[in-house]
Structure formats: structure tokens, C-alpha cells
Amino acid sequence: MPIVTVHLLEGRHPAGQVSTLLAGLTQRYAAVLESPVERVRAFAQLHPPQLWSTGGEPGVEAPYFTALVLAGRPVAQRHRLLADFTDLIVDVLGVPRSSVRGRIVPVDPDDWGIGGVPAGAARRQEIDARAAADS
């Protein structure tokens, strides 16, 4: 379920730099949540400068990210995601730390689908299958 979207100004960063950022966010997300990396999704949403305003000023760069996590994740993990994602954005894009904003969005497992199955049920099936394989 781990999904992160980072909102950036279109044309401010080369595609390779944005790809590097997405790869870093993916790896960091998996590490912090102790989740298999193949479950992580990372997206860049690019906005035309004329459709972006920071403090009332059009086209002023101020990256913003949202990260979805299943409800019940420990506060320490959520705070680490906020810090680590901000670090990556600052390091990879070279933007001022004070300009970065982020939000962790907890999602109830019954409101999140994995292959069409609510996450709570899907994870229970996965845990049961692992337990059966270990016996």
C-alpha cells in the first residue's frame, strides 16, 4: 500500500533527477515501513508554473508530498517518513528545506484495496499462507 506522490513545478528539474528522487523515495519508504519494495508506488505530479502559487507568488518552487500508510502505523514511522522524504527532496532537488511540505495520510485497511480485496483481509490471507508454508 505504500504510495507517495511528490508535487513539483514542471520544467524545473531534469527527468533523470526526478527519476532519482522517485527511486530514493521508494527505497526509503520500503526501509522505514519494513515493507517489500515491490509494494511501493512513487509518483511525481508536475504542475505548470502558471498553475502553482506559493505565498501568493506564481511559479515559486515549494515541493509538497503526500504519503499513504495503513492506519495503525506507529507515530515514529510516520515522523521518520516526514523527515526522510524531506531530506531526499532537499538532497536530490537542491531546494531549501524550509520550502518543503509533506503529509502522511493514514488509510483504514477496509478502505484500501489490494487486487480488489480490502487490505485487512488481503494481509490476513498473506499471513495465513506464510504460516501454512512454515508448518
Which amino acid is present at 132?
A
Domain extent at residue 74: 3-134
Closest CA to 35 of 5, 63, 67: 67
Please give the C-alpha separations between residue 4 and each of 25, 71, 102, 104, in angstroms, as whole numbers: 8, 15, 10, 9
Mean pLDDT of the chain: 91
- Count the domains in the chain: 1
pLDDT tens track for 59-102: 999 999 999 999 989 999 999 999 999 999 999 999 999 999 99
Write the CATH number for 90.
3.30.429.10
Task: Give the pLDDT mean for 111-122.
Answer: 80
**3-23 residues labelled b (16+ CB within 10 A) or e (exposed):** bbebbbbeebbeeeebebbbe
pTM score > 0.75 for this model? yes
